[in-house]
């Protein structure tokens, strides 16, 4: 169920399914979506300073009757906030907007060349001070991780990347798995772009599920944390209703075979 967690390499437990809130409007829109998700049973919320909706997320966290220690809140340091001092200041801004005393997970949003190592030192400091329970990265490829790990005192717990059946990232997944870094999928549904892929439709029919649920179940069975986004309660419910069926090894393989390496978002070496 939605309270089902994965234990990160530092012992922190993170829900396997969370709510992504990218593009939700600051204020009531994001607040209502987060409250509806919490009501359904979501405990993990993924935001970022870049999304400009941390205040609304924070309002929902204040209003809910679910206690702070049962919630898992992730935010990210944006590209123009990177650097050691800049990141420390960005963290304080995010925490204040969220109205929180600590964060569960803080991520480097993109590997800004020449900056991400200083940014990481700031995350290590925040972690050691107990202001954040776990620190990780996003959009890091193998070469970024190798470079970071050379000097890191604390190993990233998570790498959140674009990941869905057409961009299954098998090499990066093995690389991270070998190092105890948990993979997390952003745009897990590829925003619905290929729900009509025959294998997804076929399995949806077989299990009386939707293609979205087939994809998210594939994440869960691969041990990938997933954070589908929806503002609509019925879809939030749908995206969480993943724990009453199981894909066979052969079906998993057939979904794996959708991999073409096709990205919808920017390449981590070419973003700006």
**Positions that interact with ligand NAD (CB under 6 A):** 20-22, 46, 109, 138-139, 160, 186-192, 210, 212, 227-230, 235, 238-239, 265
The distance of closest approach from Cβ of residue 250 to ligand NAD in the complex, given in angstroms and rounded to an integer, is: 25
The DSSP secondary-structure symbol of 169 reads -
Catalytic member of 42, 51, 106, 116: 51
The distance of closest approach from Cβ of residue 76 to ligand NAD in the complex, given in angstroms and rounded to an integer, is: 6
Count CA atoms within 13 Å of residue 31 on its CB side.
14
User: In terms of CB distance, is 127 or 140 closer to ligand NAD?
Assistant: 140
The distance of closest approach from Cβ of residue 44 to ligand NAD in the complex, given in angstroms and rounded to an integer, is: 10
38 and 65 in contact (C-beta within 8 Å)? no
User: In terms of CB distance, is 153 or 203 closer to ligand NAD?
Assistant: 203
User: In terms of CB distance, is 109 or 217 closer to ligand NAD?
Assistant: 109
User: In terms of CB distance, is 38 or 130 closer to ligand NAD?
Assistant: 38
50 and 257 in contact (C-beta within 8 Å)? no
User: In terms of CB distance, is 15 or 20 closer to ligand NAD?
Assistant: 20
Q: Which two tokens stand for residue 54?
A: 């941390």
**CB closest to ligand NAD, residue no:** 20
Angle between helices 28-40 and 233-240 (to 10 degrees): 40
The distance of closest approach from Cβ of residue 64 to ligand NAD in the complex, given in angstroms and rounded to an integer, is: 19
**CA separation for the pair 246, 126 (Å, rounded):** 39
193 and 162 in contact (C-beta within 8 Å)? no
Strands (E) across 66-195 are located at 72-77, 103-108, 132-138, 158-162, 182-186
Residue of 268, 235, 247 whose CA lies nearest to 108: 268
| 51 noted as active-site residue | yes
The distance of closest approach from Cβ of residue 229 to ligand NAD in the complex, given in angstroms and rounded to an integer, is: 3
Q: What is the set of active-site residues?
A: 51
């Amino acid at each position: 169920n939605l309270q089902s967690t994965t234990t990160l390499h530092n012992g922190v437990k993170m829900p396997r399914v969370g709510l992504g809130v990218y593009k939700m409007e600051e204020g009531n829109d994001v607040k209502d979506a987060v409250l509806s998700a919490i009501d359904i049973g979501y405990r993990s919320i993924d935001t970022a300073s870049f999304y400009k909706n941390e205040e609304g997320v924070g309002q929902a966290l204040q209003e809910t009757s679910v206690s702070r220690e049962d919630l898992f809140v992730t935010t990210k340091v944006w590209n123009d906030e990177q650097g050691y001092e800049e990141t420390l200041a960005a963290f304080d801004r995010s925490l204040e907007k969220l109205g929180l005393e600590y964060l569960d997970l803080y991520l480097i949003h993109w590997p800004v060349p020449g900056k991400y190592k200083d940014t990481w030192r700031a995350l290590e400091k925040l972690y050691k001070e107990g202001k954040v329970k776990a620190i990780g990265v996003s959009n890091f490829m193998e070469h970024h991780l190798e470079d970071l790990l050379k000097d890191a005192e604390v190993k990233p717990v998570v790498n959140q990347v674009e990941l869905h059946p057409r961009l299954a990232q098998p090499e990066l997944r093995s690389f991270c798995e070998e190092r105890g870094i948990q993979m997390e999928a952003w745009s897990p549904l590829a925003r619905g772009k290929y729900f009509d892929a025959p294998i997804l439709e076929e399995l949806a029919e077989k299990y009386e599920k939707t293609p979205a649920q087939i994809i998210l179940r594939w994440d869960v069975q691969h041990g990938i944390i997933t954070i589908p986004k929806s503002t609509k309660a019925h879809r939030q419910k749908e995206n969480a209703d993943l724990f009453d069926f199981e894909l066979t090894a052969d079906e998993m393989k057939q979904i794996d075979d959708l991999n073409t390496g096709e990205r919808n978002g920017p390449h981590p070496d070419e973003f700006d």
